Structure 1
Amino acid sequence: MEEKLWLHSKMTYKTMNFKPATHEIKFTKLFINGEFVDSISGNTFETINPATEEVLTSVAEGRKEDVDLAVKAAREAFDKGPWPRMSGEARRKIMLKFSDLIDENADELASLEVIDGGRLFGQVRYIEIPASVETFRYFAGAADKIRGATLKMSSNIQAYTLREPIGVVGHIIAWNVPTYMFATKVAPALAVGCTMIVKPAEQTPLSSLFLAHLSKLAGVPGGVINVVNGFGNTAGAAVSSHMDIDAVTFTGSIEIGRSIMQASAASNLKPVFLELGGKSPFIVFDDADVDKAVELAVVGNLMNKGEMCIAGSRVFVQEGIHDVFVKKLELAVKGWAKGDPFDLATRHGPQNNKQQYTKVLSCIENGRKEGATLVTGGRPFGNKGYYIEPTVFTNVTDDMSIAKEEIFGPVISVLQFKTVEEVIKRANATRYGLASGVMTKNIDIANTVSRSIRAGAVWINCYIALDRDAPHGGYKMSGFGREQGPEALEHYLQLKIVATPIYDSPWL
């Protein structure tokens, strides 16, 4: 590949050695205590291929009683099992084996993401899975570097701090990037010695089950990783409210994030770490490289069919280049290849599920009704599957729903502005604060805007600059807590102080 997509915008797969991917589905049960098992009720639910609208398979449906079993296994593994008591070196070796197995099975894992979530095979196989592998390797390297500090207290007391694993963690995963999300949540928790329950989204359970299988092959002991498929209002709610779960992480909507916090408060006051989406500004100043800005605006909104929490879906363009920017953007979007997710030439696949497909079309219709100008796209395409044309609106104002609400689909809203002060105020006029982009050659403008935008990330002359060493998370109602980077480890650690008196020391 010419350059890594997280740091650049080109999705170029021409030079890659593509191999036909297998479509076999091997794992459809729950994964509890190191074994694949049926749900207690015996109930199952169907998972759908969004490109064909056909049923792929039936998957075991976990409910509260299954979550109870998974938590019991995780609790036993934490309280009495080897994982938290292993040396960091031993955990590191197992995690590195796990990462190697993910790498070796990348074709199969990518195929599952395509058929289960409508992802592009090239994007998942050559970008996301390598990033997931490196995330496991990164945190494996941290496993033997969890340190405390020595304290000389003001009285004749010597003390030191211990950083200990928080316990049993519940990870509730969204459907848009399930493999990468599994890695960002599971890897740091494993590194410090936690055990866990993973509740994948009901729309995309297959990759998490396959990863659970690989974890067992790697030598992760039974009970350390458990996967309970199921629905949010049953399995997810059971995880959030469980008295024997010590922390919960969640990626998804504000509404569900709020309910998880309420469940935590009503049960054992477990800490909750949330990433709740965004409506990120992508700001293009008059002096910017217009072609580069257009390129980044397209990728920053249309990659993964717009199903990205970090999408720069409010594109603010300064008035001096607005018209030329829009013309170039229209051409670029029209050239964004649509079609079969397994075709490496395809840039745009189907929306993940029918509910999301319907929502995106409704948002587009609202944009029309509110007076925005539809430049291109805005319609379904194809004879089957949840395909929506990449869409661009201009003459968008801040009070329109397409400028305020997270659409989570291939819709770009272009808004015009005059001054730096104006665009900072408008960019911050949102309940979200996850990411942002700034395109300018003026270092003073770049510094001013980056200091003024209330968001967890400001990307200057680039977009989607994600990396395993860079903490990712939001301000305001985009949530709190950080994934990736050393900061991610803190969610899974408790801080303990141990104090000892010192008697008759000549140095006191």
Structure 2
Amino acid sequence: MFEYAPAPESRSIVSIASTYGLFIDGDFSDGKGTFKTINPASEEVLAEVAMAAPEDVDRAVAAARRAFGPWSALPGAERAKYLFRIARIIQERSRELAVLESLDNGKPIKESRDVDLPLVAAHFFYYAGWADKLRYAGFGTDPKPLGVAGQVIPWNFPLLMLAWKIAPALAAGNTVVLKPAETTPLSALFFADVCRQADLPPGVVNIITGAGDTGRYLVEHPDVDKVAFTGSTEVGRQIARSVAGTGKRLTLELGGKAANIVFDDAPIDQAVEGIVNGIFFNQGHVCCAGSRLLVQESIADELLDSLKRRMATLRVGDPLDKNTDIGAINSAAQLAKITELSEIGSSEGAERWSPPCSLPDHGFWFAPTIFTGVTQAHRIAREEIFGPVLSVLTFRTPEEAIEKANNTPYGLSAGIWTDKGSRILAVADKLRAGVVWANTFNKFDPTSPFGGYKESGYGREGGRHGLEAYLA
């Protein structure tokens, strides 16, 4: 294995203030209290952030309601100009925003720089293109915006999930109140500055920070017309119950336990790269992660040998080092959950393996891990771990692979690895998953819809389909 000299990205590119307020009606204001956001790689405090109280949420929703009339009355081409402007500013500030994201989230800089930020800009460019073509989107000849959208996003892709939510909402003529996750609020607050830089009219985008209570008050607010949530299935259930009967539109993108299926005719080295990308990308903090590997029995030993060799080359450490493959776990709470489920996997009889790697002394870290000898009864095969932990199961026939892949309450994504196009089509057709990748994994594009079935939620984000959730 090559020894790489450190290649740190400069922290000086981003200037983080000591405190941040709530972004309401085009200005920052104080909340009723504050909370700290920390760097998960070092546990240092990055900033104090305002905690929004119910009256702050009221102010934000009222600002969005006032802005809705003028914003929705603008011709689509005029709204598009603002979205194009936001996209270009994001591109211009992409290095700064990538460093900020890695500091606040813990993900490797090469992922925030090469994956997250280009996709963020691409979503705004893409939906800017739709803003004056809504009548051709297939949702009626004169589709209308819904009104005020309350949006709650998770901590695993803070800026990208913001783009997935805000870009189609604005293109369709809605106004937005967005709540980022309490462990990763900074990139959303920097986006507020991007909105001001783009001269976006006050109140069109409002950003309120806080914990679960803030999000609950936003979701349940009587003057919110549309709720969009990405996060855990348990919270999604609570939101669905609270919204039921109110007339609010709702989209949910929740958890997953994706099967990555490798058939005996698959190119092994290519499949191994896809497996590694499927479960170790973003420390496994991915709802569509390929966390269950289903490998055909006849090639299981060969594939696992190759996978272990590849895992031994993964570099765990400083997220700002450009050589780092696996960064820090986002929070102490998430690390505790990953650790607990991994220990349960061992206690239930699965065989645990991690490559030798030294973890930093400070921060939240977990070595890339695989479990073999896993059955469908194991909790690690059924529950979403949301970390760099892979459960390996085997199968003999395509029918068995499909049955095992579908044996989950989730239905967000799946992967198929085979040399036969006919097998890809036949198996994909039988998998109950919103997204099925063939001979690749974790490929995203703003033109492609994304979303799940069953306990993975409902509704689609991205593509033409992503507009439907924001149009009446």
TM-score (norm: length of structure 2): 0.95
Instruction: Tell me how far 1:87 sits from its aligned partner.
Output: 0.9
Structure 1 Cα separation of the partners of residues 250 and 293 of structure 2: 32
CA contact (8 A) 1:195 1:225 kept: yes
Structure 2 CA distance, aligned partners of 1:149 and 1:289?
A: 39
User: Residue 61 of structure 1 is aligned with which of 39, 51, 65?
Assistant: 51
Q: Which residue of structure 2 lines up, in the alignment, with residue 136 of structure 1?
A: 124
1:368 maps to what in 2? 346
Does the Cα contact within 8 Å between 2:103 and 2:320 map onto a contact in 1?
no
The AA in structure 1 aligned to 2:24 is: I
Q: AA paired with 1:32?
A: I
Q: What is aligned with 1:167? A: 147
In terms of Rg, which structure is larger? 1
Q: What is aligned with 2:67? A: 77
1:20 is displaced (CA, Å) by 5.7
| Paired position in structure 2 for 1:89 | 77
Instruction: Name segments (4+ residues, structure 1) moved above 4 Å.
Output: 16-21, 377-380
What's the counterpart of residue 398 of structure 1?
A: 376
Alignment size in residue pairs: 466
In 2: Cα distance, 1:193 partner to 1:468 partner: 19
Among candidates 182, 187, 209, match of residue 207 of structure 1: 187
> In the aligned structure 1, how far is the partner of 2:457 from the partner of 2:135?
28
C-alpha displacement of 1:264: 1.2
Task: Flag the 1:149–1:50 CA change in 2: closer, same or farther, 3 A.
Answer: closer
Match 1:180 to one of 160, 168, 174: 160
Alignment partner, residue 235 of structure 2:
256
Select 1:111's aligned residue among 93, 99, 119.
Answer: 99
- 1:417 touches 1:423 (CA, 8 Å); kept in 2? yes
The answer on 1:30 being equivalent to 2:22 is yes
CA contact (8 A) 2:460 2:466 kept: yes
Deviation at 1:380, TM superposition (A): 8.4
Q: Equivalents in 2 of 1:333, 1:76: separation in Å?
A: 53
Q: Percent identity?
A: 45
SS in 1 for 2:135: coil
What is the match of residue 497 of structure 1? Answer: none
8 Å contact 2:177–2:205 — kept in the other structure? yes
Gaps of 5+ in 2: none
| Whole-angstrom CA distance in 1 between matches of 2:106 and 2:9 | 18
Provide closer, same or farther for how the CA distance between residues 229 and 379 of structure 1 changes in structure 2, counting only shifts above 3 A. Answer: farther
Whether 2:171 is the aligned partner of 1:191: answer: yes
- Equivalent in 253, 257, 261 of residue 283 of structure 1: 261
- Aligned partner of 1:337 among 280, 299, 315: 315
Q: Which residue of 2 aligns with 1:355?
A: 333
With over 3 angstroms needed to count, the CA separation of the structure-2 counterparts of 1:241 and 1:345, relative to structure 1, is same
Instruction: Report the CA distance between 1:413 and its aligned residue.
Output: 1.0
CA distance in 2, matches of 1:33, 1:361: 42
What amino acid is aligned across from residue 210 of structure 1 in structure 2? Answer: F
Give the CA RMSD over aligned residues.
2.0
- Contact 1:148–1:163 (Cα < 8 Å) also in 2: no
Tell me which residue corresponds to 1:10. none
The 3 A distance-change label for structure 1 pair 293 and 202 is same
- Aligned-partner Cα distance in 2 for 1:376–1:138: 41
The whole-number CA distance in structure 2 between the counterparts of 1:443 and 1:180 is 32
**What do residues 55-98 of structure 1 show as CA deviations (whole Å, max 9, x unaligned)?**
1111000021110000010011113xx21111111111111111
Distance in 2 of aligned mates of 1:449 and 1:442: 11
Kept in 1, the 8 Å contact 2:137–2:464? The answer is no
- Among 48, 70, 80, the alignment partner of 2:38 is 48
> Could you tell me how far apart the structure 2 residues matched to 1:161 and 1:195 are?
22
State the SS of the aligned residue for 1:44: strand
More displaced 10-residue stretch of structure 1: 364-373 or 106-115? 106-115
- The separation in 1 between residues aligned to 2:434 and 2:147, in whole angstroms, is 27
